[in-house]
């Protein structure tokens, strides 16, 4: 009997001494700052074609009328400062009329949209209330490497306080390659499960620091891949939204494709090719936006951009990164190859139109 009692006590002692995983520790550190965001907005309901409605149903219900109706949405967010400022996705709060925020202890607070930037899919929501949740510890997205742990927190499908685990699968994944031509983002790719409702929630490293803002998941072929906006970019955008209420993105008005010597050679061998391409690396101008900065600077379809300022252009992304960091209306020298001759043209970036 004594031996049995000792064994039981020993088992209890071992259970009490069990340590939690780093995932539990990381999630516990960030979870108090993770919120659920519920939104409402008015949308116009479209009238049905009367010819498509069964006559009996029309007699019973009448003709459906077009008109406004309330649309509800949901997403996640993370508190980034002591004043209750929440970072989330722009598509979560785009054109909404009311914002309700549920904090970690279940309390519901009102919020209002400070500003959003559709180009980077980021937005700020200000919490209203006396008792505000703590802010999340923010990490450095430039310090992460492929293979690092990645932990996603949020409210997928309305299921609050959900935590999933994976790794950083890739870095600097261009969002344009995912079919979003109206965005400018290099994303963190992860296999941590990100589902509808996770949008705007944090992606966290093994130390419990926010390294990204979850933004989308790939469905269909290749499903299971999630993407997050690097926190370093998110912080810059948040600062501009807080100070100015908007983010100004420089643009020059070019549609570009990457060119390499091999692609050029394959093209030039085609007997039906209308033009011969230079067999070198660069960003080939596919089209020039009418009345845009590039057209005003003299760029043409078929030009090959090989340098911007002192930087060699190896692909379109190299040029876009320099343009993104450029000042509005400040001359930006481009070296282009046209008909075998190198030309230097000066283009003045302008604010990207149609944002908001």
Question: What is the rounded distance in angstroms from the CA atom of residue 32 to the CA atom of residue 352?
Answer: 37
- Beta strand 85-88 with 149-154: parallel, antiparallel or unpaired? unpaired
Which one of the listed residues 38, 117, 121, 303 is annotated catalytic? 121
239 included as an active-site residue: no
Which one of the listed residues 76, 141, 169, 199 is annotated catalytic? 199
CA angle 98-112-105, nearest 5°? Answer: 90
For residue 152, report the phi and psi dihedrals to the nearest 5 degrees.
-105, 130
For residue 298, report the phi and psi dihedrals to the nearest 5 degrees.
100, 10
Question: What is the rounded distance in angstroms from the CA atom of residue 317 to the CA atom of residue 283?
Answer: 9
Which one of the listed residues 91, 118, 148, 315 is annotated catalytic? 91
Which residue bears the tokens 């091999």? 262
121 included as an active-site residue: yes
Question: What is the rounded distance in angstroms from the CA atom of residue 212 to the CA atom of residue 210?
Answer: 6
> How many Å separate Cα 100 from the centre of its chain?
22
Which residues are known to be catalytic? 91, 121, 199
């Amino acid at each position: 009997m004594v031996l049995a009692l000792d064994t039981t006590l020993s088992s209890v002692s071992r259970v009490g001494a069990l340590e939690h995983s780093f995932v539990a520790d990381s999630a516990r550190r960030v979870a108090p700052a993770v919120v659920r965001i519920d939104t409402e907005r008015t949308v116009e309901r479209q009238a049905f074609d009367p010819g498509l409605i069964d006559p009996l149903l029309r007699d019973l219900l009448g003709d459906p009328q077009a008109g406004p109706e309330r649309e509800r949405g949901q997403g996640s967010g993370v508190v980034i400062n002591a004043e209750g400022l929440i970072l989330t996705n722009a598509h979560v709060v785009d054109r909404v009329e009311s914002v309700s925020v549920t904090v970690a202890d279940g309390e519901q607070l009102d919020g209002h949209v400070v500003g959003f930037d559709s180009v980077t899919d980021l937005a700020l929501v200000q919490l209203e209330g006396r008792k505000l949740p703590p802010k999340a510890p923010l990490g450095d997205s430039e310090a992460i490497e492929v293979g690092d742990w990645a932990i996603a927190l949020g409210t997928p499908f309305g299921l609050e306080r959900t935590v999933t685990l994976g790794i950083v699968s890739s870095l600097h994944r261009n969002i344009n390659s995912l079919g979003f031509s109206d965005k400018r983002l290099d994303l963190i790719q992860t296999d941590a499960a990100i589902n509808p409702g996770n949008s705007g929630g944090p992606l966290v490293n093994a130390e419990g620091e926010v390294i990204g803002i979850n933004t989308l998941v790939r469905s269909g072929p290749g499903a299971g891949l999630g993407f997050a906006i690097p926190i370093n970019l998110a912080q810059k955008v948040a600062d501009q939204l807080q100070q100015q209420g908007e983010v100004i993105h420089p643009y020059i008005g070019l549609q570009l494709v990457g060119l390499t010597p091999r692609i050029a050679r394959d093209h030039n061998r085609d007997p039906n090719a209308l033009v011969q391409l230079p067999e070198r690396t660069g960003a080939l101008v596919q089209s020039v936006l009418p009345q845009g900065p590039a057209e005003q600077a003299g760029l043409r379809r078929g030009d090959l951009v090989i340098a911007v300022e002192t930087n060699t252009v190896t692909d379109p992304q190299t040029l876009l990164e320099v343009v993104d960091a450029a000042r509005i209306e400040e001359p930006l020298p481009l070296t282009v190859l046209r008909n075998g001759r190198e030309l230097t043209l000066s283009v003045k970036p302008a604010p990207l139109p149609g944002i908001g």
